[in-house]
A and B are shown apart, each in its own frame.
Chain A
Amino acid sequence: MDTEYVDKKVLKCQGLVDNATSDEQKKLYQGYLDFWTKKLPKAQRPEIITKKEEAKAEKILEENAELARLEMIAMEKAKVEAEELAEAKALKIAELEAKHRAELAALDEPEPEPEELNEINFELLYPNKKAYRTQNGERIETIAYKEYLNKTESE
């Protein structure tokens, strides 16, 4: 028998088996498929994948896909967690740095500006003393005021 003809029949039967609408019908078409497949020399018999086998392969693929999906989710989760951790860490570091900077800043705070040496400040500091006395209409620095000025300058 013409091999091309048998080939066509095998393909046709394969299609019928795959599209059978009931088990009985599938069995019937499978019988035809076997009938025609046997007519081909063994070497030329096409690899026949039945719908059942196809479904099995699909199931395995689906399961693999599910596993891959779960792995992907786990990886994503780990990534997010790592990112969150890094962010928290960065925040913490930033916070600590800020705190440290604040402390450093506190340490480096400049000395209060020395009070201006004048009689007002002197009299504020020593309310019961005078910075000047008047002698013969001339203003003369008092001893206390002189000491105040000398003392403050020498500090």
Chain B
Amino acid sequence: MAAGDNECRMRLYEYRDIGGGILGDLPEHIKAASPQLLDIYIVATPADAAGFLEIDPPTSVLSSVGEVVETISSSADDGNDAGDHLQGISAIGINGSNKMVTVQMLATSAAWTETLHTEIWKNIFHSFGSKWGTGDRDPAGAVDIRTVGDTVLVELVAGDNEGNGAAFVVPHGHACMLYGGRLTRITTTGAWANDEGVAIRIVYIDTIDALSEGGAGAPAPADRAINWLEYIVAGQYGNQYVDIPKGFIFPEDTQIIHQDSSVVDGGEPYTLHLQYLIWKK
């Protein structure tokens, strides 16, 4: 993976899908709320320069009162014909009832021209291919999820089943807990550079911070209280991974984005696995 490249796999697991053991140490009241687990797995290489940049951002951020979206493919080989390639795309986001959901959206024509879907969305974070015909197991063209005004939110490029988007928002009326993870520095040569490493940040912007952006009398962006958790793996010796502890709580409506940076100026590949537990208060 070239410097500056990144890929994110995001999946949402319902309570019934989570292994019993993983939630064993949770307080009973959280278990009683049937929490969902948002699993984020990132493979990336930071740019060859120190400086934090957002990992795999969505094409556009949908922050809406609730609206329907469309899907479309740039290739007539994607669609609902049995011999087509991609037939369905799934999105993870927040629906009109403030619930984090995964919804599959299917092509309704053989050429997958713009297709209006019925789900109401307030946010969409990520997309991935989820149904295929006999033609191929990945999209023939670029398949995207867009607003009715044709603003692309997230997309799959041709030949790639995993779309962009590694950020999310804690649904209104919900709480979110960072439920652990691991940052792993990887190498293709078997040797670690002593004067290099990888740093990641979990940036969280709560409602107050977001509200204070722009507008008369609002603090300048640099003065806003944007907070982050930072983890670094660097140097030649010692463990080349760091376990990310669980327990950090984020309130409702908090926007969470992920950033990475080279520790010095050489982009090194890494993987980052993060889990977030989300439950209704």
Which A residues have a C-beta under 8 Å from some C-beta of B? Answer: 5, 8-9, 12-13, 16, 22, 24-25, 28-29, 31-32, 35-36
B66 touches A25 (CB 8 A): yes
Given known A16-B68, A22-B65, A29-B67, contact A8–B147 (CB-CB < 8 A): no
- Chain B residues with CB below 8 A from A13, complex form: 148
Which B residues have a C-beta under 8 Å from some C-beta of A? Answer: 64-68, 114, 116, 147-150
- Chain A residues with CB below 8 A from B67, complex form: 25, 28-29
A29 touches B148 (CB 8 A): yes
B65 touches A35 (CB 8 A): no
Residue of A nearest to B64 (CB): A28
- Chain A residues with CB below 8 A from B148, complex form: 9, 12-13, 16, 29, 32
The residue in B64, B65, B147, B148 that gathers the most chain A C-beta atoms within 10 A of its C-beta is B148
| A14 CB → nearest B CB, Å | 11
| B156 CB → nearest A CB, Å | 21
A32 to B150, CA, bound (A): 9
- Chain B residues with CB below 8 A from A32, complex form: 147-149
Given known A16-B68, A28-B65, contact A35–B114 (CB-CB < 8 A): no
| A52 CB → nearest B CB, Å | 19
Beyond the given pairs A22-B66, A32-B149, 11 more chain A to chain B contacts, judged by CB atoms under 8 angstroms and listed by A's residue number, are: A9-B114, A9-B148, A12-B116, A22-B65, A24-B65, A25-B65, A25-B67, A28-B65, A28-B67, A29-B148, A32-B148
| B208 CB → nearest A CB, Å | 22
